[in-house]
Structure 1
Amino acid sequence: MSAPEAPPTSRGRAALALVWDVGAPIGMYYLLHGLGLSTFLALLLSAVLPGLTSVYQVVRSRKLDGLSLFMVSVTVLSALASLISGSPRFLLAKDGYLTAFAGAWLLVTARAERPVVFMFARVLLEGRVGPHGESWDVLWERLPGFRRIWRVAAVIWGTATIADAVVRFAMAYTLPVNQVPALNGVQWGVLFVLLQVVTNVYYHRAGLYDPRSALYEPLARSQTQAAIASL
């Protein structure tokens, strides 16, 4: 049975949520700072927006997933720690903590039953990648090469996001405070584009996008044998 393709509206909502989580805090910071709020207070208030998005998604879906819990936890903990320390630079480093934790999470799940990279990609690609739109559950169970692709991808994404975190920490504690929010936003775009290029080159070389590649040969053989046995 073929897996259903992810609806375009779902992909569109996911893209809009990502743009909001990255762009809205930056825009709100510069707006509040321009209205006369202190740097610390403007950073603190703008940092709440991604957490509010996650809370809204949890309330709307009535389901608390790991990603939403992670986003809310990082936002709340960084805000509380900033109130104690009173440091705007700690708030600026929040994106660094986020990517560091995310990178560690990605690396840990590389050896889990299903890497988190697999789960994110499945929403976008299942039904469009693989022969005959096979369910990714089938591909995962029957194809060792398919499992290896997502474990390698988790390592690529995890390593890159940890390196990204190091750069964010350096910017947060060395550059002029008012420059860092905009640079953090630019860096999200650079990280996303770089990872898309690197992982898609890897996916092509591994045969993920070619249903006739050697990656899918074990599945084709098993289907042929099943057809012969049914005669």
Structure 2
Amino acid sequence: MTAPAPAPRPGGRRLLLQLLVDVAAPVALFYVLRDLGASTFAALLAGAVLPVVAAGLYWLRDRRLEGMAAFMAGVMLAGMLVSLISGGTRFMLARDGWVTAVAGLFFLGSTAARRPLAYLGARPLLEGRFRSDGTPWETLWQTEPAFRRIWRVSTVIWGLALLADAAARIALSYTLPLDTVPALTGLLWPATLILLQLVNGIYYRAAGLWHLTSGRGRHTAETARAVRG
């Protein structure tokens, strides 16, 4: 009997497409609709629908939705509903900030979970691909305390960065002219992600992550027992 094929890993093209759908497309749609005479609230609402629709299409195609993607789609949908009930344009502008704040808290809370979010997000992208000797990450998680500590610290870095990003979004949404906010908050996403990649990359190198994944810096329980013996 043939073993079932493993689920495909998200590649760079898929991630770029998701960034375009979730960030660039809503901003572009907002300004197109404003030029056509739509109200600020209606243009924002139309842009907010796109990521939710995209998440639904991914689910229809794959019949599965990653936990974080489902969480984000649910929070964004809740934000849209609250905006419709309140009718507040400023709240709708700040919606991404509130979503980001919830995501940041979710990251921080996951440090106490069985597997933190930074680990769950990085594993499909990096395991067996980058500076790896082929050892499964779950094996490293079970045997290397340093490996577990690295991913919990990385998750804290993500959580704090997302909270800082959220604070900036909310402040911009309630202080700047309405039509200026979408462009500026849209630019915050790549700035935050690039900064996160730089900070995490420096931390991973300093903490020895790539030594662990490549097999050069491991101190497993079996090795320790062999040394003591």
For the criterion TM > 0.5, the same-fold answer is: yes
Q: In the aligned structure 2, how far is the partner of 1:72 from the partner of 1:17?
A: 12
> C-alpha separation between the residues in 2 aligned to 1:100 and 1:119?
19
C-alpha distance in structure 1 between counterparts of 2:215 and 2:72, whole Å? 39
Quickly say closer, same or farther: Cα 1:121–1:197, change in 2 above 3 A: same
User: 1:129-140, aligned counterparts within 5 Å?
Assistant: 129=130, 131-140=132-141
Aligned pairs for 1:81-230 within 5 A: 81-129=82-130, 131-210=132-211, 211=214, 213-214=216-217, 216-218=218-220, 221=223
String of CA shifts for 1:150-201, please: whole Å, max 9, x gaps.
0000001001101111111100101111011010111111100111000100
Q: Which residue of 1 aligns with 2:69?
A: 68
Higher relative contact order (CA 8 A, sep 6+): 1
Higher mean C-alpha displacement, 128-137 vs 186-195: 128-137
**Taking structure 2 as the reference length, what is the TM-score of the superposition?**
0.88
SS at match of 1:133: coil
- Say whether the 8 Å CA contact 1:102–1:158 is kept in structure 2: yes
Q: How does 1:20-31 map to 2 (within 5 A)?
A: 20-31=21-32
Query: After superposition, what is the alpha-carbon deviation per residue over 1:129-154, rounded to whole angstroms, capped at 9, x for unaligned?
Result: 46522111111111010000000000
Q: Provide Cα deviations, 1:76-108, integer angstroms capped at 9, x if missing partner.
A: 222222122221111111110111011000001
The offset of 1:13, in angstroms, is 1.1
Closer/same/farther in 2, CA of residues 220 and 7 from structure 1, 3 Å limit: farther
Q: Cα 1:83–1:91, aligned 2, differ >3 Å: closer, same or farther?
A: same
Q: Distance in 2 between matches of 1:163 and 1:121?
A: 21
Q: Secondary structure of 1:134's partner?
A: coil
Structure 2 counterpart SS, 1:197? helix
In 1, the alpha carbon distance for the partners of 2:221 and 2:61 equals 39
Mapped to 1, the partners of 2:7 and 2:164 lie a distance apart of 31
1:30 CA displacement: 0.5
| 3-state SS in 2 of match to 1:48 | helix
Counterpart CA distance in 1 for 2:94 and 2:79 is 9
Partner amino acid for 1:173? Y
Question: Cα RMSD between the aligned structures?
Answer: 2.2
The one-letter code of the counterpart of 1:206 is A
Instruction: Normalising by structure 1, report the TM-score.
Output: 0.87
Aligned length: 219
Q: Distance in 2 between matches of 1:68 and 1:209?
A: 27
Q: Which residue of 1 aligns with 2:35?
A: 34
Native 8 Å contact 1:6 1:124 kept in 2: no
Q: Deviations over 1:188-227 (max 9, x none)?
A: 111001110001000000111233553x2327837x95xx
Structure 1 gap segments, 5+ residues each: 226-231
- Structure 2: which amino acid aligns with 1:184? T
Q: Is the 8 A contact 1:103 1:158 kept in 2?
A: yes
CA 1:19–1:86: 2 relative to 1, 3 Å: same
The 3 A distance-change label for structure 1 pair 219 and 197 is farther
